[in-house]
């Protein structure tokens, strides 16, 4: 079965990209540095049929859509390798007729300890875009997606994935996450210098958005950040 948390490496007509994806009970939620991925899947014989919508959350022109549109649909068919863990898909998009989409989904760790407590007025379950900027005169930033569900966090971008837990009520939230590398950031300057990083977060939330300040422990130093989150899809 496809259920689990994955790194996704994909290509369309020679152009390539990466993201993270969570699959559970027929629902697909994930994304990367510029696009959120929202979809469904079902088992048909020995194959998995997936249908996805991709939606841009980051307007940085350096991140082009591989499907030729900021809002695109995708249908793909795939199955697991012999070990039953890695999935390979092939398909296409009506926004880019004739193009061939291929992807490889490799499982990531998703053990994140006990969930936090979520009460009335807490952050809404769903897939969020997250935009991070460093403070204290440090010029750096990052974008990705985060899935919040009943006190647990999963998420990531083109190079890193996030695991953690959160508590939230009365318009406020706190979280502890671990930011880990799933793909070496060659030729890039990642926000936390390529380190696996523990991050403490606290901020405010409503039914559509959230914001927070975070302190990341990078090696032996602390880096303060500002994070803005926008709900892309309720879960």
Nearest C-alpha neighbor of 24 from the set 48, 46, 4: 4
What average pLDDT does the structure give for the chain? 92
What's the CA gap between 231 and 228, in Å, rounded? 10
CATH architecture of 126-234: Beta Barrel (2.40)
Domain boundaries, the chain: 4-107, 126-234
Nearest C-alpha neighbor of 180 from the set 192, 189, 171: 192
The DSSP code for 3 is -
User: Where does the pLDDT of residue 155 fall: very low under 50, low under 70, confident under 90, or very high at 90 and above?
Assistant: very high
CATH topology of 4-107 equal to that of 126-234?
Answer: yes
Per-residue pLDDT at 223: 86
What's the CA gap between 172 and 202, in Å, rounded? 8
State whether CATH 2.40.128.380 applies to domain 4-107: yes
Per-residue pLDDT at 47: 96
Output the pTM of the full model: 0.93
């Amino acid at each position: 079965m496809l259920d689990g948390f994955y790194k996704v490496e994909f290509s369309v007509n020679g152009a390539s990209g990466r993201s993270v994806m969570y699959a559970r009970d027929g629902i697909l939620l994930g994304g990367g540095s510029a696009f959120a991925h929202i979809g469904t899947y079902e088992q048909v014989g020995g194959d998995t049929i997936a249908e996805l919508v991709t939606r841009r959350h980051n307007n940085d022109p350096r991140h082009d859509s591989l499907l030729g549109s900021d809002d695109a649909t995708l249908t793909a068919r795939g199955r697991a390798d012999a070990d039953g863990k890695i999935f390979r898909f092939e398909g296409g998009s009506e926004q880019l007729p004739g193009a061939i989409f291929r992807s490889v989904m490799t499982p990531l760790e998703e053990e994140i300890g006990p969930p936090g407590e979520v009460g009335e007025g807490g952050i809404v379950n769903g897939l969020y875009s997250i935009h991070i900027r460093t403070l204290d005169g440090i010029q750096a930033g990052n974008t990705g997606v985060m899935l919040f569900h009943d006190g647990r966090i999963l998420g990531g971008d083109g190079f890193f994935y996030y695991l953690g837990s959160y508590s939230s009520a009365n318009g406020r939230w706190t979280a502890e996450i671990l930011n880990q590398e799933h793909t070496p950031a060659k030729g890039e300057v990642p926000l936390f210098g390529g380190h696996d990083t523990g991050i403490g977060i606290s901020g405010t939330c409503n039914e559509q958005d959230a914001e927070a300040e975070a302190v990341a422990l990078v090696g032996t130093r602390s880096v303060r950040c500002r994070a803005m989150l926008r709900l892309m899809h309720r879960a």
